[in-house]
Amino acid sequence: MIILIGGEKGGTGKTTLAVNLAALRALQGRDVLLIDTDIQASASYWTQSRDEAKVQPRVACIQKFGKGLQTEVQDLARRYQDIIIDAGGRDSVELRAGLVVAEHAFIPIQASQFDIWTLGRMDDLVKTAQGFNPNLKAWVVISRASTNPSVTETTEAQGILADFEHLHLANSIIRDRITYRKAARDGLCMEEMKPVDPKAAEEMKGLFAEVFNHE
Ligand SMILES: Nc1ncnc2c1ncn2[C@@H]1O[C@H](COP(=O)(O)OP(=O)(O)OP(=O)(O)O)[C@@H](O)[C@H]1O
Ligand SMILES: [Mg+2]
């Protein structure tokens, strides 16, 4: 399965989701490849920290930039069971190429940035990609939400998303928790943190199920 985690806004938690999903998939015994298409290379640094700490299972990661991404991913998909592409926070060639090869795209958006402009742009990008990749489905994930859950955040998101034909709302919400920042530094996923933050582990497993149960 080829999954893209992307979006035009910076710092919404794309890399955090990509590395967590990759590690959880690897923990299931799957052969997974993380593709880092961001020159900031945060996903690559995460795998580097993981390797340095000798955390098992290893998560393979490569960096790939430019238009050739599409062909490269199609080729790599024959060698890996799953590919997770982390696309940087801007409208990039990599984001567009990723949308053309992915089966599912997940777009994390912070509740505070949940605006029509951002979503409109993403809706257009997804629509264009679907012209080449009719099976593509795209979900918006509310990310870095306050740990003071408000009922309105989902209702508001649903209301705004209703106007966009090509975007769906994921059921899972990822909240802003210190453990995500610690895990990023140590090359770990929520499940592997000691002590584990049960709420973070739970919400990430929920998202994981949504991402991979569409198979
Ligand atoms: N749910 C969360 N709770 C707390 N901190 C988070 C969460 N998600 C991400 N962060 C932190 O916010 C910062 C940005 O997150 P991340 O790198 O995942 O975002 P990004 O969308 O990949 O950013 P970029 O657009 O720069 O690639 C990092 O320091 C990360 O540890
Ligand atoms: Mg990133």
Does 186 have pLDDT greater than 80?
A: yes
Does 43 have pLDDT greater than 60?
A: yes
The alpha carbon of 142 and the centre of ligand 1 are apart by a number of angstroms equal to: 13
The alpha carbon of 121 and the centre of ligand 2 are apart by a number of angstroms equal to: 19
Measure the CA–CA gap between 110 and 108, rounded to whole angstroms.
Answer: 7
Beta strands in 119-207 (DSSP E): 137-145, 167-175
Does 151 have pLDDT greater than 80?
A: no
Dihedral of alpha carbons 21, 57, 78, 87, sign: positive
Tokens of 106: 């997940």
Per-residue model confidence as pLDDT tens digits over 94-133: 999 999 999 999 999 998 888 788 899 999 999 999 999 9
Measure the CA–CA gap between 22 and 161, rounded to whole angstroms.
Answer: 27
Q: Is 179's C-beta closer than 6 angstroms to any atom of ligand 1?
A: no
Q: Is 14's C-beta closer than 6 angstroms to any atom of ligand 1?
A: yes
Instruction: Give the residue, out of 15, 107, 118, 175, with the most ligand 1 atoms within 8 A of its beta carbon, to mutate for a pocket test.
Output: 15
- Vertex 87: Cα angle to 44 and 89 (nearest 5): 105
pLDDT at 153: 81
Q: Is 172's C-beta closer than 6 angstroms to any atom of ligand 1?
A: no
The helix-helix angle for 93-101 and 69-76 (nearest 10°) equals 40
pTM: 0.97
Does 214 have pLDDT greater than 70?
A: no
pLDDT at 209: 98
Ligand number, closest to the Cα atom of 190:
1
The alpha carbon of 31 and the centre of ligand 2 are apart by a number of angstroms equal to: 22
The atom of ligand 1 lying closest to the CA of 174 is 1
Per-residue model confidence as pLDDT tens digits over 61-78: 999 999 899 999 999 999
Does 37 have pLDDT greater than 90?
A: yes
Q: Is 34 exposed, middle or buried (0-12, 13-18, 19+ CB in 10 A)?
A: buried
Judged by DSSP in three states, 75 sits in helix
| 3-21 average pLDDT score | 96
Q: Is 88's C-beta closer than 6 angstroms to any atom of ligand 1?
A: yes
Does 29 have pLDDT greater than 60?
A: yes
Q: What proportion of the chain, given as a percentage, has pLDDT over 90?
A: 85
Q: Is 46's C-beta closer than 6 angstroms to any atom of ligand 1?
A: no
Measure the CA–CA gap between 98 and 5, rounded to whole angstroms.
Answer: 9
pLDDT at 46: 98
Does 152 have pLDDT greater than 90?
A: no
The alpha carbon of 74 and the centre of ligand 2 are apart by a number of angstroms equal to: 22
| 14-35 average pLDDT score | 98
